[in-house]
Amino acid sequence: MRRSAPASAPSKRSSGRSLGTEYLALLTELERRRRANHLAAYRPYPRQAQFHAAGAANRERLFMAGNQLGKTRAGGAEWAMHLTGRYPDWWQGKVFDMAVRLWAAGVTGEGTRDNPQRVLVGPPQQQADWGTGMIPADAIVHTVMGRSVAGAIDSVVVRWGGGGDVQASESVLSFKSYEKGREKWQGETLHGVWFDEEPPLDVYSEGLTRTNATGGITIVTFTPLLGMSDVVLRFLSAADVERMGKG
């Protein structure tokens, strides 16, 4: 009976290189999937979770905090859930059982592009990376570019539902800015408006009006830079104001 000869050294090295290549390819694919679906990995810290949960009973919500504390990220994650219908098991907030029409807005066109658009879609300057924001890449049907600001998106069509017994449909997200004035906010019927940074009261009121027919929601995420403004006062009780006045 003849015994098989042991594998040669070159053969072993070739096998090792093959396994290493496969492992690197697997890591690359896992990273690609992670970047293409940040929403699946979103886990709010307690204050973010409280903000989300309040949506179950409140049409108007404010997340007011300092810089770099996750306000815009929380707003983007919630908007992505409503746009796609992909609510995680831990979700206790507002739920839409249909495709939605939403707005996301900032102070200027550039501010909207660099904050809510970036968080929702991906880096404005790198279109190849659109789909690495909170809206999963496989849910973005197509985008419509804006005209006045380089890299700014006017609207995004988002695939909603389509899992199990849920019929697939399409949501629409549009980007706005406060600088255009209240008149540019008229006419639409919406399920929700996200104000990223504090809006003027007339713009906020017009945005809220857009959601009346649907019983929709408004969320406001900002760092308080304008003091005790009319918009801030809408969300504070008399006791809150008195306590803050006492320092």
- Residue 2 scores a pLDDT above 60: no
Mean pLDDT on 131-154? 95
Domain ranges of the chain: 42-245
- When pLDDT is cut at 50, 70 and 90, the band that residue 167 belongs to is confident
- Residue 114 scores a pLDDT above 90: yes
Mean pLDDT on 125-152? 93
- What is the rounded distance in angstroms from the CA atom of residue 124 to the CA atom of residue 20? 35
- Within 8 A by CB and 6+ apart from 244, the residues are 228, 236
- Residue 185 scores a pLDDT above 80: yes
Mean pLDDT on 123-144? 93
- Residue 29 scores a pLDDT above 80: no
Q: Which two tokens mark 145?
A: 């570019």
105 with 146: CB under 8 angstroms? no
Task: Return phi, psi of residue 200, to 5°.
Answer: -60, 155
Measured CA distances, 101 to 24, 132, 171, 231 (Å): 41, 21, 6, 23
Q: Read off the pLDDT of residues 95-113 as tens digits, 9 standing for 90 and up.
A: 999 999 999 999 999 999 9
State the pTM of this model: 0.83
Catalytic residues: 197
Please give the pLDDT value at position 230.
Answer: 85
Sign of dihedral through CA atoms 236, 209, 56, 196? negative
Please give the pLDDT value at position 4.
Answer: 52
- Residue 64 scores a pLDDT above 80: yes
Q: Which CATH class is domain 42-245?
A: alpha beta
63 with 231: CB under 8 angstroms? no
% of the chain surpassing 70 pLDDT: 79
Measured CA distances, 111 to 10, 120, 212 (Å): 58, 14, 27
On average, the pLDDT of the chain sits at 87
Residue 229 CA, chain-centre distance (Å), reads: 26
